[in-house]
């Protein structure tokens, strides 16, 4: 049995290093500078996630990096209770630019996390890799 949890304790989570590819390197280089980039297609105008070279909607290669707002709302989440480092929340955030992205919700107590909650990006250090985007209450 796990220890009873202190009420309204904000969640934290140690994060492993992400696998960085040639295509995602600009994203993680910017993340190291605290900038949140997304990709948008100049041919169809759509933003997509995760970022890639060829637009997943119209298949043009005219995709470009742009600075994202880093703002969005919780689409869904689940608090993982079976964790040696304490409970953590995984979920999707719907970015203001449109796409949904998988993330962790940190600095929020499980009881305060709700679908529709406004959140903003925060870069979290990883174990031996570049920082990665997580989301915290806006």
Kindly state the DSSP code that residue 33 receives in the 8-state scheme: T
104 burial class (0-12, 13-18, 19+ CB within 10 angstroms)?
buried
Subset of 32-91 contacting another protein (CB under 8 A) = 46-57, 59, 75-83, 88, 90-91
- Answer for which of 32, 64, 115, 138 binds another protein (CB under 8 A) is 115
> What are the tokens at 61?
């290669």
Give whichever of 33 and 82 is closer to another protein, judged by the CB atom. 82
Long-range contacts of 85-91 (CB under 8 A, 24+ apart): 85/13, 85/14, 86/5, 86/11, 86/12, 86/13, 87/5, 87/11, 88/11, 88/12, 88/13, 89/11, 89/113
95 binds another protein (CB under 8 A): yes
Query: At its nearest, how many Å lie between another protein and the CB of residue 110?
Result: 7
Q: For another protein, which residue of 12, 100, 107, 120 counts as binding (CB under 8 A)?
A: 100
As a dihedral over the C-alpha atoms of residue 135, residue 19, residue 65, residue 59, rounded to 10 degrees, the angle is -110
> Under the criterion CB under 8 A, does residue 8 sit at the interface with another protein?
no
State the number of binding residues for another protein (CB under 8 A): 52
Shortest Å distance, C-beta 1 to another protein = 8
Contacts to another protein by CB under 8 A:
1, 13, 15-25, 28, 46-57, 59, 75-83, 88, 90-92, 95, 98-104, 110, 115, 126, 132
């Amino acid at each position: 049995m796990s220890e009873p949890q202190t009420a309204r304790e904000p969640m934290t989570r140690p994060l492993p290093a992400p696998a960085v590819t040639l295509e995602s390197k600009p994203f993680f280089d910017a993340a190291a500078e605290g900038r949140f980039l997304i990709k948008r297609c100049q041919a169809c105008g759509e933003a997509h996630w995760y970022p890639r070279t060829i637009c997943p909607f119209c298949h043009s290669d005219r995709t470009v990096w742009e600075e994202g707002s880093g703002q969005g709302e919780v689409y869904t989440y689940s608090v993982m209770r079976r964790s040696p480092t304490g409970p953590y929340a995984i979920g999707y955030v719907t970015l203001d630019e449109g796409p949904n992205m998988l993330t962790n919700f940190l600095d929020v107590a499980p009881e305060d996390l709700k679908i529709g909650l406004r959140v903003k990006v925060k870069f979290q250090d990883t174990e031996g890799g570049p920082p990665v985007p997580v989301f915290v209450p806006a």
